[in-house]
């Protein structure tokens, strides 16, 4: 007998948010989640940790050097939280019209340099969120993260399973996502 696939509701894939905050993800205060995430890992540190995570996943043999393997697993969970909160923010702002204009005055804090976002994405981070979930779906991002996590903690290289462009895009997109989410949180704090 052939099994039929049932499409998953994206809300069912927000498992890390549900587990961490012990409530339905759609009832979460996104700003609190972002504050919690960046309190533990400032944007620059999280972006650097993503680099180390990807390097460990790409290297043949066990290569995680930032403490115990539990640190890599914890980082993976934080990246998953980042992706899930990005999905909620994207979904919330998906109906909002994004302007094509680049703001004239953008004050970039020097503590955020180097900045991977371009001027338009920094001015309107929803532009990047839209690209992020157009490039890969929530499920695809989570599958890529699971693959990278397995290889960061194991002895094989993720390069054996994924094509080269995927490897680079995974790292680059995640680092840009860190700054886009941070920018969304600072913009919403400024508007209050």
Give dist(CA 121, CA 108) in Å, integer: 12
Give dist(CA 15, CA 150) in Å, integer: 18
Q: Are 112 and 18 in contact (CB under 8 A)?
A: no
What are 157-179's pLDDT values in tens digits?
Answer: 999 998 888 888 999 999 999 99
**Which pLDDT score is estimated for 129?**
94
How does residue 40 score in pLDDT terms, banded at 50, 70 and 90? confident
**Which pLDDT score is estimated for 94?**
59
Across the chain, mean pLDDT equals 84
Whether 148 shows a pLDDT value over 80: the answer reads: yes
Tokens of 87: 């999905």
Counting Cα atoms < 13 Å in the Cβ hemisphere of 157 gives 10
Nearest to residue 38, comparing CAs of 190, 172, 179? Answer: 179
**Which pLDDT score is estimated for 169?**
93
State the DSSP code for 182. H
Of the chain, the end-to-end C-alpha distance in Å amounts to: 57
What are 93-119's pLDDT values in tens digits?
Answer: 754 444 555 455 556 565 565 678 887
* Cis preceding-peptide flag for 89 (omega within 30 of 0): no
**Which pLDDT score is estimated for 188?**
77
Whether 185 shows a pLDDT value over 70: the answer reads: yes
Q: Are 183 and 128 in contact (CB under 8 A)?
A: no
Whether 6 shows a pLDDT value over 50: the answer reads: no
pTM of the full structure: 0.85
What crossing angle do the helices spanning 126-135 and 164-191 adopt, rounded to 10°?
150
Give the length of the chain: 192
Q: Are 92 and 28 in contact (CB under 8 A)?
A: no
What are 76-98's pLDDT values in tens digits?
Answer: 999 999 999 999 999 887 544 44
């Amino acid at each position: 007998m052939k099994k039929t696939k049932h499409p998953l509701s994206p809300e069912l894939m927000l498992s890390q948010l549900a587990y961490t905050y012990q409530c339905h993800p759609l009832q979460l205060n996104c700003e609190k989640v972002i504050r919690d995430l960046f309190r533990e890992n400032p944007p620059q540190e999280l972006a650097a940790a993503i680099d180390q995570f990807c390097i460990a996943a790409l290297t043949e043999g066990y290569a995680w050097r930032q403490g115990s393997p539990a640190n890599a697993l914890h980082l993976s969970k934080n990246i998953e939280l980042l992706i899930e909160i990005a999905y909620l923010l994207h979904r919330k702002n998906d109906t909002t019209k994004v302007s094509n204009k680049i703001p004239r005055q953008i004050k970039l804090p020097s503590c955020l340099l180097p900045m991977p976002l371009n001027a338009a994405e920094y001015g309107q981070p929803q532009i990047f969120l839209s690209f992020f979930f157009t490039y890969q779906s929530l499920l695809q991002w989570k599958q890529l993260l699971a693959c990278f996590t397995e290889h960061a903690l194991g002895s094989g290289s993720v390069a054996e399973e994924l094509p080269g462009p995927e490897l680079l895009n995974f790292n680059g997109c995640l680092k840009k996502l860190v700054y886009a989410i941070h920018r969304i949180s600072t913009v919403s704090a400024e508007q209050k």
